[in-house]
């Protein structure tokens, strides 16, 4: 004979519905921050891409600057006028972002210290010079033979926040007539 | 007495487990994003170190071009065991051994050495620039550039 416990079946059916409602609510609540996280990930990827483009532009422009003839590099602060193979000013990249490229180029005074050698003394041995053959320290000062090149690339993030990357190098004038 | 069903409340347990799994996945995703951002900073620091070290090398090469004689005799004096003083003076310029505080901070040093080619008959000089750069995020980069310059010694009038 079949024996069915009716009260037990009723209890199970009654509990399942609130369980599902509560579970769905918890799942929905958990999905809200996760969905936000997905959006943040997408934004962060785009932000990274803009930064990478700026860094690549910085590297390329600096390499071009180092290969330009010394005398054709302009001097001044925040130069935005392009010259030869060097692109300056507002540049629109392939990702649609406009980057502002500024160059600051200034002469650096360089002092080169050395001990001059007196080769005209009777005791001077060309193959084995002694400390006594050297004079006291002298300095060669060059005021227009080394340029300090500072390049800054800036762009706008989040509608108004300006972000920038910069690099610094030196360029020497090898075509200078040696004394 | 009300009978206890062993399966009651299982849905909540399952959903809580699923939610926990999703949160773990989300946190690992966030971690991967933050690591990717740091990687970009690494690229910038590396480029900044390369460019600055190249610039210092250019200044060192200019010094060698302007003052080859003092280096030759100073290096020879050291090679023959007669003293390091003149070579230390030649390598010790403030412009070639210094520090820079910019968007980053960097320290650099330069050394000049002579290569003993044909017992120093030829003038083969090696310039070594070592640069240590620190980014504001605490990452450090080291660059070493070595450049060899070959030349023939020739007395004027000969």
Q: Where are the domains of chain A?
A: 17-176
Quick one: which of B36, B32, B96 has its CA closest to B60? B96
Q: Which long-range contacts (CB under 8 A, 24 or more apart) does A88-96 make?
A: A88/A61, A91/A57, A93/A53, A93/A57, A94/A53, A95/A49, A95/A50, A95/A53
Q: How confident is the model at residue B13 (pLDDT cuts 50, 70, 90)?
A: confident
Which residues make Cβ contacts (< 8 Å) with residue B5, sequence separation at least 6? A8, A11, A12, A15
Distance of alpha carbon A36 from its chain centroid, rounded?
Answer: 29
Contact list in B for residue A115 (CB cut-off 8 A) is 70, 74, 85-86, 89-90
DSSP one-letter string for B56-80: HHHHHHHHHHH-HHHHHHHHHHHHT
Interface A-B, measured as beta-carbon pairs within 8 A, has a size of 183
Q: How far apart (Å, rounded) are the C-alpha atoms in residues A2 and A12? A: 20
pLDDT of A104 reads: 96
pLDDT of A78 reads: 95
Query: To the nearest whole angstrom, how far is the Cα of B93 from the nearest Cα of chain A?
Result: 6
The DSSP symbol for A142 reads E
pLDDT of B35 reads: 66
Could you report the per-residue pLDDT of A158-175, keeping only the tens digit for each? 778 899 999 999 999 988
Letter string b/e over residues B103-127, b meaning 16 or more CB atoms within 10 A of that residue's CB: ebebebebbbbbeeeeebeebbbeb
Q: How far apart (Å, rounded) are the C-alpha atoms in residues B78 and A66? A: 34
Please indicate if any CB of chain B lies within 8 Å of the CB of A49: no
Query: To the nearest whole angstrom, how far is the Cα of B86 from the nearest Cα of chain A?
Result: 6
Interface test with B, best of A30, A107, A121 (most B CBs within 10 A): A30
Residue B7, pLDDT > 80, answer: no
Quick one: which of A68, A175, A113, A65 has its CA closest to B65? A175
Query: Mean pLDDT throughout B29-52?
Result: 76
B34 to chain A: closest CA residue: A44
Query: To the nearest whole angstrom, how far is the Cα of A161 from the nearest Cα of chain B?
Result: 18
Query: Mean pLDDT throughout B132-145?
Result: 90
Q: How far apart (Å, rounded) are the C-alpha atoms in residues A23 and A43? A: 31
Query: Mean pLDDT throughout B66-77?
Result: 88
Query: Mean pLDDT throughout B143-156?
Result: 78
Could you report the per-residue pLDDT of A72-100, keeping only the tens digit for each? 999 999 999 999 999 999 999 888 899 99
Residue B2, pLDDT > 60, answer: no
Residue B72, pLDDT > 60, answer: yes
Query: To the nearest whole angstrom, how far is the Cα of B147 from the nearest Cα of chain A?
Result: 15
Q: How far apart (Å, rounded) are the C-alpha atoms in residues A77 and A62? A: 16
Q: Are A135 and A120 in contact (CB under 8 A)?
A: no
B120 vs A169: CB contact, 8 Å cut-off? no
Question: What count of Cα atoms within 13 Å lies in the side-chain half-sphere of residue A164?
Answer: 12
Q: Are B88 and B70 in contact (CB under 8 A)?
A: no
Q: Are A27 and A132 in contact (CB under 8 A)?
A: no
pLDDT of A39 reads: 74
pLDDT of B3 reads: 57
Point out the residues of chain A with pLDDT beneath 50.
1-2
Would you tell me which residues 73-132 of chain A have a C-beta closer than 8 angstroms to some C-beta of chain B?
108, 110-117, 127-131
Q: How far apart (Å, rounded) are the C-alpha atoms in residues A39 and A35? A: 6
């Amino acid at each position: 004979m079949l024996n069915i416990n009716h009260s037990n079946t009723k209890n199970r059916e009654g509990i399942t519905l609130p369980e599902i409602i509560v579970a769905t609510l918890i799942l929905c609540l958990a999905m809200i921050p996760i969905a936000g996280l997905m959006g943040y990930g997408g934004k962060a990827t785009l932000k990274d891409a803009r930064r990478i483009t700026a860094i690549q532009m910085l590297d390329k422009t600096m390499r071009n600057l180092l290969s330009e003839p010394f005398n054709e590099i302009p001097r001044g602060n925040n130069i935005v006028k392009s010259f030869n193979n060097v692109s300056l000013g507002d540049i629109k990249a392939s990702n649609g972002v406009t980057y502002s490229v500024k160059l600051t180029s200034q002469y650096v005074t360089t002092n080169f210290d050395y001990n001059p050698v007196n080769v005209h003394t009777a005791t001077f041995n060309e193959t084995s010079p002694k400390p006594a053959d050297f004079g006291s320290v002298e300095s060669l000062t060059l005021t227009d033979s080394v340029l300090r090149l500072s390049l800054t690339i800036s762009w706008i993030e989040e509608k108004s926040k300006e972000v920038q990357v910069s690099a610094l190098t030196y360029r020497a004038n090898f075509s200078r007539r040696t004394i | 007495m009300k009978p206890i069903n062993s399966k009651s409340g299982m849905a909540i347990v399952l959903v809580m487990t699923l939610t926990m799994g999703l949160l773990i996945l989300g946190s690992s995703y966030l971690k991967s994003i933050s690591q990717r951002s740091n990687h970009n900073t690494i690229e910038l620091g590396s480029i900044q170190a390369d460019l600055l070290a190249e610039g210092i090398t250019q200044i060192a090469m200019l010094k060698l071009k302007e003052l080859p004689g003092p280096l030759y005799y100073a290096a020879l004096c050291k090679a023959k065991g007669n003293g390091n003083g003149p070579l230390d003076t030649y390598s010790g310029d403030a412009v070639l051994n210094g520090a820079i505080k910019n968007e980053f901070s960097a320290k650099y040093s330069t050394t000049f050495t002579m290569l003993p080619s044909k017992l120093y008959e030829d003038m083969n000089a090696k310039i070594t620039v070592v640069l240590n750069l620190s980014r504001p995020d605490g990452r450090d980069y080291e660059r070493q550039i070595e450049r060899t310059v070959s030349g023939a010694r020739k007395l004027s009038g000969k």
